[in-house]
Amino acid sequence: MWSLCMAVALLPLGVADAKGKAAHDMQGGTATVVLPSFESLDPQVGFSTINGEAEWNVYTPLLTVAHANGVAGTQVIPGLAIGLPKVTNRGKTYTLKLRKGLRFSNGQAVKASDFAFTVERALKLNWGGDSFLISDIKGALAYQSGKASSVSGITTNNATGRITIRLIQADSAFADILTFTGLGLVPSTTPMTAESTKLPAGVGAYVIKNVVPNQSFTLVKNPRFARFDLPGIPVGHLNEIQASVDTNPLTAEQDVLNNRIDVLDPNFAISPSLISTLQTQASGRYRSVPTEGVQYIFFNTKIAPFNHKSARVAVTEAFDRGAITRIEAGFLRPGCFVLPEEFPGRSTQPCPYGKVSAAPQVAKARALIQAAHLTGSPVTVWTQAASPYDAMGAYYVSVLDGIGFKATLKTISPAIYYPTTANPTLNIQTGLAAYYADYPDPTTFYHLLDARSITPTFSPNRDQLDDPKVQATLMRLGGQSLTPSVIAQWQKLDEYVAKQAYWLVMGYPKDPELFSNRIDVKETIFNQKYLSDWSSWQLVRR
Amino acid sequence: MLKRILKDRLALSCGLIFLIVAVLSLSAPLVAQYVAHTGPNDEHITATIGSGVHRRYVVSLVGVPIGPTWGPRFFLGADSNGRDILVRLLYGGRASLAVGFIAAAITLTLATILGVAAGFYRGWLDAVIVRILDLMWAYPVILLAIAIGTVLAVSGITIGPITIRAGSLLLPAIIIGIVHIPYVAKPVRGQVLVIRKREFIDATRVLGMSPRRIMIREVVPNVATSLAVFAPLMVANSILLEAGLSFLGVGVLPPNPSWGNMIGQGISLISVAPTGVLAPGLMLVAAVIGVNGFGEGVRRALDPHGRIRPR
C-alpha cells in the first residue's frame, strides 16, 4: 500500500531510467545546494543523512541502492561488485566478486583487499554505523577493541577479486548494510586517521573537493568514472555542485525561492512563515515527500527517572502530538509505533496509550509520577540548537514540568548533536532524535533498541536498552526474510515496545523539496535512503 | 549632584523611560496572573481563542502563530510554541534587567578591587593584574563571552561550596560581569595611580593607617564618582551583551525568556508574526537608551567643568 501511494505520489516526477531519459539529459553546468549542517565527509566517520546524500555519488560500495524514486529506490543493486552476493552457509556467508578494471579517483587500481581495509578503517575510526558491522561480521568487535590485527570474518583475493564475508549469525538485511556509503571503498593506502579536508579517494561520479569543515564543499565530476559504465549507477549531469551551510532555515529557503541557490536540502525544516508563499510562488518546484523515518524521544532506561516504566508512560500520556505537528509546520504524520506507517512489521493494533489525536492526559500522568515518587526529579532534555528542534525541546520541557518533573533544556549545535547524544558516558537522560530507514527491513529501526548497538564510546541505542524480551526477538528475527509469520512477530515486538514506552514516538516526517527555476525538477530523484539524489540534478535546457 | 540631574531634562526623560520599562517588567507576575492568565513558559499550541466564527487557533495547523489580539489574552500575539508574547516580554525584561544589574555589580566590584589594588600596590601585583586585563581587553568581548558561555551553559559551574546550575540567570550575569572587568578596572587603576601620590594619602601613611584601610577609607571614596558614571553604562552594556548572548543561545537558556532569545526564536517567523521580534527589540532599545541617557546625565552632573545648557 505504502509503495503504491509513493508510486502514485511521485509519478509526475518521473522515475529514474538512465537510458530512457537520454533524450532529456542536459549535461554540464554548476548548481548550488544549501545544507543545514554536515558532519565529517570522511566516509568512514560521518553517518548522517546529509553526509549520505553527498557521499552516495562519491564513495560507491560493493552494493548500492537503485537511483530511483519511491520504493524502487530501496532495491539493492550491484555497485562495485559483479552481481548481488551469493549467500551460503544458511545465510551466514556472503560471497561477492569485485568488478575488473576499476580505479579510484586518484588513479589507483581498486583491489578486493580494499574492501577489508575499508571495513577495518570504519571500525577503527568509530564510523557512526559501526554497530551494524560489529553485530554482523565475525571478528569485527575483536578488531575494533584491538584484540585482533584484522577482521577475521573477511577474506579477499586480489587476483580473482573474490570477497568472502562470514557473519556471526544470518542477517537478511546484510546486503542492505553493504550499501552504506561508509563501506564505499577507499584505497588501502589511506591513512587510518579521520580526514576532515583531504578526503580519501573513492569510486563514484563525483569527487569531493575544497572542504571547509562546517561551511562548504564542492562535488566535482570524476572524469574516470564514466568509462566504468556501472549498470544503474548514473554518471551525473552537473560538472560541479557547490554545497554550503546556512544554519538559518529562513534565509536558506528564501535564497532558493528567489533562485539565488538551486537546491534546498530536504533536511531543512520549512519555516511556517514561508509555506503559503511556496505554495503560491513556487508550486512547480516545491513539494513535501513522506519519508520512511521516525521522530522520537529517547529515554535512557539505565538511569533515573526513565528507568521507571511509569515515568516513560506518564510522559507518553501527557504528550500532545498535535502540538508537535504544528511546531513542525505540518511536516509530521503523528504516530506511536517505532515502525512507520505501511513499513513491514508495523503494528496493526491501536496505540496503547490512546489515539495519537487524543487530548493529553496530564492529570493521569501527574498521578503516575506521584505514585512512583518521582515528583521533582530533575530531567535534562537534549535537543538541537536549530528551528524547529529548539521549539520542540521547549514544548517537551513544558510537558515534563507540567507533570511534576523539574526539567531543563540543553541545546547543542546540530553538527555535533547525534554523535554527542550517542555517547553513553554522558548519561543523557532524554532527548529528541530522528532516524530514517536505511533499508526496507525492521532491523533498520530496531538496531536503535538493540543491546548489541551499545559500544563504550558510541551507542545509537540512546536508551541504553537491554530488554531480554526485545533482545531475544531481535536475535531470532534478525536473520530472517520477511515472511508473513516473521512480519507477525515484528508486529508483536512493535506493540511490546510501544507498551513499554521505550520511545515516545512523535510521528513520521515529511521532507520538503525546493528547487530554483534553473533545475529541471521533473528529472530529480528523491530516494528513500539517500533523499535527494544529487546525480539526478540537471539544469533546465533553455 | 542631584540638583544638577533634576535640572537635566534629557537625563530625566531617559530615566523615566527606563523606569517605565523596569516597572512593566516587575509587573510581569501580575499581568500573567490577572490579565493574560498564563505563565511565561505555558504553551497553548493546540488551544483556540474566541468563539463561533471568531474562533482562532493560537498556532495554526501549519505552525503560524496568532498575531496581536489587543485583548487580555495574546495581546501581542503568540510565538511558535503558543506562548503569550506579552507575558514572555515582561518576564524576559525581568531576566534581562536582572542579568544587566547583577553583571554590572560584579564588574564594578571586581574591577574596583583589581584596579585599586593594582594602582595602589604597583610592583609585581600591578604587572600581573595589568597583563591579565590586557589579555582580556585584547580578546573581542562577545567572542570571549560566547566561549565562556558555551562551556558553562552545558555544565554549569562549581566554585567551592557554591554550585550554579546550567540555566541559572547567575551564569550569564557572571560571564558578562567578568568580561567587562577591564573596561572599568583600567581607568580605575589609572585614577588610583594619581590619587596615591596625593598628599592626603601620605598623611594617612604618616598617621600609621594600614594599606588596606587607606584603600578602603581614602582611595575608594575618591574613585566613587567615576564608578557612579560607569555604573549605568555597565548596566546598558550588560543588557546588550546578554541580549546578544541569548540570541546566540549561550545567555539565558530557553525555555526561559529574555529579550535576546525571544528575538532569536521569533526571527524565523518575522514575516507572519513580527511582534515576536519587534516587541523585545523595542523594549531592549528603550531600556538601553534609558540607562545610557541617564548615565550621561550623571556624568554631566559630576563633571566639575560641565554646565547645564539653558533651554
We report the CATH number of the domain holding residue A325 as: 3.10.105.10
Is residue B48 within 8 angstroms of chain A, CB to CB?
no
Paired strand residues for A298:
A431, A503
Q: Where does A126-225 have alpha helices with state H? A: 130-136, 140-144, 174-177
- CATH number, domain at A157? 3.40.190.10
User: Taking CB atoms and an 8 Å cutoff, what residues of chain A touch B253?
Assistant: 408-411
In this complex, is the C-beta atom of B80 within 8 Å of any C-beta atom belonging to chain A?
yes
Task: Give yes or no for a contact between A394 and A381, defined as CB atoms under 8 angstroms apart.
Answer: no
Please check whether residue B187 is in contact with residue B115, taking contact to mean a CB–CB distance below 8 angstroms.
Answer: yes
User: pLDDT category, B161, cuts 50, 70, 90?
Assistant: confident
Residues on chain B touching A249 (C-beta within 8 angstroms): 268
* Interface contact flag, B270 A273, Cβ < 8 Å: yes
Residues of A in contact with B249 (CB under 8 A): 385, 390, 411
What is the pLDDT, as a whole number, of residue B272?
86
Backbone angles phi, psi at B16, to 5 degrees: -65, -40
Picking from B276, B260, B256, B254, the residue whose alpha carbon sits closest to that of residue B145 is B260
> Is B168 an 8 Å CB contact of chain A?
no
Give residue A216's domain range.
Answer: 27-242+516-536
Mean pLDDT over residues B229-239, rounded?
93
Burial of B118 per CB tally in 10 Å (0-12, 13-18, 19+)? buried
A388 cis-preceded (ω within 30 degrees of 0): yes
The residues, ordered by sequence, that sit 6+ positions from B138 with a Cβ below 8 Å of its Cβ are: none
Residue A284, domain member (yes or no): no
For β-strands A162-166 and A93-97, DSSP reports them as antiparallel
Burial B179-218 (b: 16+ CB within 10 A, else e): bbbbbbbbbbbebbeebbeeeebeebeeeebeeeebbeeb
A33 and A180 share one domain? yes
Task: Give the number of other Cβ atoms within 10 Å of residue A481's Cβ.
Answer: 11
The verdict on residue A78 lying in a domain is yes
State chain B's mean pLDDT as an integer. Answer: 89
Looking at the complex, report in whole angstroms how far the Cα of residue B36 sits from the nearest Cα belonging to chain A.
Answer: 18
Confidence (pLDDT) at A18: 42
A346 is a domain residue: yes
Taking CB atoms and an 8 Å cutoff, what residues of chain A touch B61? 325-326, 330
Chain A 327-346, CB below 8 Å of chain B: which residues?
327-330
Are A224 and A349 found together in one domain?
no
CA distance A187 to A185: 7
pLDDT in tens, A341-376: 889 999 999 999 999 988 999 999 999 999 999 999
Residue A56 lies in a domain: yes
- CB atoms B62 and A387 under 8 Å: no
Neighbour-count burial for A151-182, b at 16+ CB within 10 Å, e otherwise: bebbbbeeeebebbbbbbebbbbbbbbbbbbb
Residues of B with Cβ-Cβ distance to A388 under 8 angstroms? 63, 80
pLDDT-derived band at B268 (thresholds 50, 70, 90) equals confident
Number of domains present in the structure of chain A: 2
Indicate whether A115 and A143 sit together in one domain.
Answer: yes
pLDDT value of residue A71: 77
Look at residues A26, A231, A199, A211 and name the one whose alpha carbon lies nearest to residue A105. A199
Chain A interface includes B272 (CB < 8 A): yes
* Of residues B45, B272, B273, nearest to A326 (C-beta): B45
**Chain A residues in contact with B80 (beta carbon < 8 A):** 272, 327, 387-388, 391
Q: Split chain A (542 residues) into runs of 10 and give each run's mean pLDDT.
A: 39 41 73 93 91 95 93 91 95 96 96 97 92 92 94 97 94 91 96 94 97 95 94 95 92 94 92 84 89 95 96 96 92 95 92 92 96 95 89 95 93 84 93 90 92 86 95 89 93 97 96 94 90 94 75
- Residue B79 CA to residue B70 CA, distance in Å, equals 15
A11: Cα within 13 Å, side-chain hemisphere: 6
A87 shares its domain with A209? yes
Q: Are residues A528 and A464 in the same domain?
A: no
Residue B310 has pLDDT above 50, yes or no: no
Note whether A354 and A475 are same-domain residues.
yes
Whether residues A100 and A219 fall in one domain: yes
In the numeric block, the cell 487580555 is attached to: B72
* pLDDT value, residue A7: 39
Interface list for B 234-263 with A (CB within 8 A): 249, 253-255
Same domain assignment for residues A325 and A453? yes
The verdict on ipTM greater than 0.90 is no
- Nearest by CB to B249, which of A272, A273, A385? A385
Please check whether residue A272 lies inside any domain of the structure: no
Cβ distance of B62 and A322 shorter than 8 Å: no
- Tell me the domain boundaries of chain B: 89-257
Contact indicator for B283, B275 with CB cutoff of 8 Å: no
B83 has pLDDT over 60:
yes
**pLDDT computed for residue B52 by the predictor:** 81
A231 within a domain of the structure (yes/no)? yes
B150 at A interface, C-beta within 8 A: no
For residues A487 and A526, membership in a common domain is answered with no
Class of CATH domain B89-257 = mainly alpha
The answer to whether the Cβ–Cβ distance between A273 and B167 falls below 8 Å is: no
Host H or E run for residue A206? strand A206-212
Three-state DSSP state, A379: strand
Q: What is the mean pLDDT of residues B98-113?
A: 95
Whether A22 maps to a domain, the answer reads no
How close is the nearest chain A Cα to the Cα of B60, in Å?
Answer: 7
pLDDT digits (tens, 9 = 90+) for A72-113: 888 999 999 999 999 999 899 999 999 999 999 999 999 999
**pLDDT (0 to 100) of residue B154:** 63
Residue holding cell 532599545? B285
- Residues A362 and A476 occupy one common structural domain: yes
Classify residue B233 by its DSSP letter. Answer: H
Best A408, A426, A429 member to test B by mutation, with max B CBs in 10 Å, is A408
On whether any CB of chain A is under 8 Å from the CB of B125, the answer is no
pLDDT surpassing 50 at residue B49:
yes
pLDDT at residue A21 in the model: 47
Confirm if A530 and A539 have CB atoms less than 8 A apart.
no
Q: Tell me the mean pLDDT in the region B27-50.
A: 94
Same domain (yes/no): A238, A323 = no
Query: Chain B partners of A325 at a C-beta cutoff of 8 Å?
Result: 61
User: Between B43, B60, B167, which is nearest A323 by CB?
Assistant: B43
For residue B33, the model assigns a pLDDT of 95
Confirm or reject contact between B127 and chain A (CB < 8 A): no
Whether residue A524 sits in one domain with residue A482: no
